């Protein structure tokens, strides 16, 4: 009777320990997997580190920076003009608009020009954390449309990720290398 009870107790202990071990391995494995829902269908997504996605995230961050800083739509309300002045003032603080004069900034804000930016390519050096942005800027005024070639360069610095900075990157030493007219078309006024 003692041998049977001891064997039963040892069997229960072995089964319990193996069940706990198997459950722990399954939970650890499940925590390493991320699923995304496409409608009602779960799709397994591989997790990556920032090192693996740095090229893509840096290029996206650089493109977004140029899009939001060089794309200007006409603004008529005083709050929108104040917002643009604050943006330009903050860009001056980081040295981004170091060549523009205050009169030019006021002229840009006062006109109804539409500034659009188009990215051609971005070269990113992962080791030096430096980039070169190649793009075109379209400036549409009442009387003409001007296309400009734009080449800028700078460095990217890692900072903590936040809701306002999901890439966790900061652009520093941003400078314009080339900003020349490509084409100018006159608009027909009816």
Taking only the tens of pLDDT, the chain with its 190 residues reads: 889 999 999 999 999 999 999 999 998 887 777 778 888 888 887 777 777 888 998 999 899 888 887 776 655 545 555 555 555 555 554 454 444 444 555 555 556 677 888 999 999 999 999 999 999 988 887 788 889 999 999 999 998 888 888 888 988 888 889 988 888 888 776 5
For 24, the token pair is 């722990």
Structure confidence at residue 119 (pLDDT)? 92
* Count of helix runs (H) and strand runs (E) in the chain: 4, 6
Distance CA 170, CA 64 (A): 12
pLDDT computed for residue 189 by the predictor? 62
Q: What is the pLDDT of residue 20?
A: 95
What are the φ/ψ torsions at residue 81 (nearest 5 degrees)? -65, -40
Strand ranges of the sheet holding 169-186, from the earlier edge strand across to the other edge: 114-125, 130-140, 144-158, 169-186
DSSP per-residue letters across 123-184: EEETTTTEEEEEEEEEEE-SSEEEEEEEEEEEEEEE----SS-TT-EEEEEEEEEEEEEEEE
Report the distance separating Cα 10 and Cα 15, nearest Å.
Answer: 9
Those residues whose C-beta lies under 8 Å from the C-beta of residue 163, and which sit 6 or more positions away, are none
């Amino acid at each position: 009777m003692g041998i049977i009870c001891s064997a039963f107790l040892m069997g229960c202990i072995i089964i319990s320990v193996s069940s706990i071990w198997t459950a722990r391995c399954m939970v650890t494995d499940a925590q390493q997997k991320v699923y995304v829902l496409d409608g009602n269908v779960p799709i397994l997504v591989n997790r990556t580190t920032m090192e693996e996605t740095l090229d893509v995230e840096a290029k996206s961050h650089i493109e977004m920076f140029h899009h939001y800083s060089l794309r200007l739509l006409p603004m008529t309300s005083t709050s929108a003009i104040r917002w643009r002045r604050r943006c330009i003032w903050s860009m001056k603080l980081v040295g981004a608009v170091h060549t523009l004069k205050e009169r030019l900034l006021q002229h840009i804000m006062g006109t109804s020009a539409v500034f659009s930016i188009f990215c051609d390519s971005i070269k990113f050096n992962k080791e030096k954390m430096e980039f070169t942005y190649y793009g075109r800027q379209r400036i549409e005024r009442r009387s003409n449309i001007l296309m400009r070639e734009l080449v800028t360069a700078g460095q990217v610095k890692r900072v903590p990720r936040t809701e306002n900075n999901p890439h966790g990157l900061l652009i520093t030493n941003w400078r314009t290398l080339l900003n020349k007219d490509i084409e100018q078309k006159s608009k027909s006024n009816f």
